[in-house]
A and B are shown apart, each in its own frame.
Chain A
Amino acid sequence: MAKAKIAFYWCASCGGCEEAQVDLADKLFDLIEAADIVLWPVAMDFKKEDVEKVGDGSIDVAIINGGIRMSEHEEMVKLLRRKSKLVIAYGSCAHMGGIPALTNAYTRESILKYVYEEAPTVTNPEGKRPKTRVSVDEMDFELPEFLEYLDPLDAVIDVDYYIPGCPPTPEITWEAVSSILSGNLPPKGHVFGSDRALCYECPLNETKPEKVTLDTIKRVHQTELDPNKCYLTQGVLCMGPVTRGGCKALCIKGNMPCTGCFGPVDGVSYQGAKALSYFSSVINIDDEDAFRKLVEEVGVDPLGWFSKYCLGKGTIKRR
């Protein structure tokens, strides 16, 4: 049997996903044993032309991380979709927009204005902005355009599987890649990881009472967390109840409540709304004024707290 062909690509990403792929460590040898890597910008010198040359559908798996922020990302993922049998969205950004999708709460214009003019570290008296076309020494250059919204991968192309996480753990990466390369394909749309919420695998689950009710809300930096007691019962937001397990509760073991990077469990499309819903349910304040006062005092930031990684799935677009 011919060796499988595998492509990696990055879009709007921070580099953490590439780091996670490199963290496969000795498993990388097993990967090279089983497959030829035909594109991997972080580690190998293949170009867009190399991908254009191969036949449609001749790449077996394309693993794409990062959200779709620039027109270049859109062009590349459409090319990879055409050339690949399977496309995997890798990491929170490709899966749900990730942290960069929080920019969807701002207009493109206000982002560019801040970044190129208003940021305290920027000096730009002529108010220069990026252009899509520029001529230097009579040579014309075409540059990618900054899009209005940051979209998750499946808003632009058809996606077969998702590997969640910010970044995905090397274990879950290997589990997904090895099962796909061995031909053991899950149903389309499958998200790797557990199919139950994080609480089921959380070491602190035993300390959780049957019914959690909170009289107040605290922020992580305002409270000294007891590492041996369910964080939610200590009054801070833990996204565990609305987040897919599979990460082995890494953050919890590091004395940090879950922030939700594995995304929602099956059946939920927008984790941020679901999290807002669950958190409101456990708070035990029935007086509206008292609740509003608490929300203001604590500085509850619903978008940042509940949609840290998933705003790409909940963005309401202008009409």
Chain B
Amino acid sequence: MSGEFEPKIVVIACHWCTYQAINLAGTSRMKYPPNVRTIRVMCSGRTDPQFVIEAFRNGADGVLVAGCHPGDCHYVNGNMKTMRRTVLLEKMLEQMGIEKGRFRREWISAAEAKKWVDVVTEMVDQIKKLGPLKLAGRGDE
């Protein structure tokens, strides 16, 4: 164990796209940081905002919600609910003092293994710079 801060990132990934992209990244032997813990859901629309809050409350340093591109949802419009929820949730987390960059929503299709690797690598870098959850933004607005 080195002394460097290793963030824990919870990923909530849609079964039909992002989860397949993660599989593809694995079978293609692409490399990405080991800081992510992935939870598969049948649709990103299954992501109850309580899950995200609960992850942060239980020690996550970052949360990524990932689903199908708009128009590609296996269940027609589940990801549109995700879109609206994450826009409001992002705002709410900001109000709670969670620094920008700790919560992220991405559209990653089953073919976009490269995008998955890029998003995760970038997110881990960013959160390493931020350090453990400080909620430094609380009341500074």
Contacts and interface: CB of A to CB of B under 8 A. Distances in A.
Interface in A77-117: 104-107, 109-111
Given A270-B50, A273-B48, A281-B81, A318 B135 contact: yes
Contacts of B133: 316, 318-319
Contacts of B132: 319
A109 B139 CA distance: 9
Given A302-B95, A318-B134, A295 B50 contact: no
Is chain A's interface secondary structure helix, strand, loop, or mixed overall?
helix
A62 B12 CA distance: 42
A280 B45 CA distance: 11
A285 interface: yes
B17 to A, nearest CB: 17
A215 to B, nearest CB: 13
A280 B96 contact: no
A229 B24 CA distance: 51
A203 B68 CA distance: 40
Contacts of A76: none
A316 B77 contact: no
Interface stretch (B31-39, B84-92, B110-118, B120-128): B84-92
Given A110-B139, A288-B87, A316-B133, A280 B48 contact: no
B138 interface: yes
Given A105-B95, A316-B135, A319-B59, A270 B87 contact: no
Contacts of A279: 88
A5 to B, nearest CB: 37
Interface in A237-291: 268-270, 272-274, 276-277, 279-281, 283, 285-286, 288, 291
B139 A269 contact: no
Contacts of A315: 57, 96
Given A295-B91, A316-B57, A277 B49 contact: yes
Contacts of B92: 272, 276, 302-303, 306-307
A292 B87 contact: yes
Contacts of B88: 276, 279-280, 295, 300, 302
A117 B26 CA distance: 56
B83 interface: yes
B85 A303 contact: no
A170 interface: no
B85 to A, nearest CB: 4
- Pick the most buried of A277, A279, A301: most chain B CB atoms within 10 A of its CB: A277
Given A281-B81, A316-B57, A319-B59, A106 B89 contact: no
A146 to B, nearest CB: 14
A183 to B, nearest CB: 36
Contacts of B96: 104-105, 303, 315-316
B83 A291 contact: yes
A315 B96 CA distance: 8
Contacts of A270: 50, 53-54
B140 interface: yes
Contact of B138 (A110, A269, A280, A286): A110
8 contacts: A107-B97, A107-B139, A274-B50, A291-B87, A306-B92, A315-B96, A316-B96, A316-B135
Q: Name the 6 nearest CB pairs between A and B, nearest first.
A: A110-B139, A106-B139, A302-B92, A273-B49, A280-B84, A273-B50
Given A104-B96, A105-B139, A110-B140, 18 more contacts: A105-B138, A107-B135, A107-B139, A268-B50, A270-B54, A273-B52, A273-B89, A277-B85, A291-B84, A291-B87, A300-B88, A302-B88, A302-B89, A302-B95, A307-B92, A316-B53, A316-B133, A319-B132
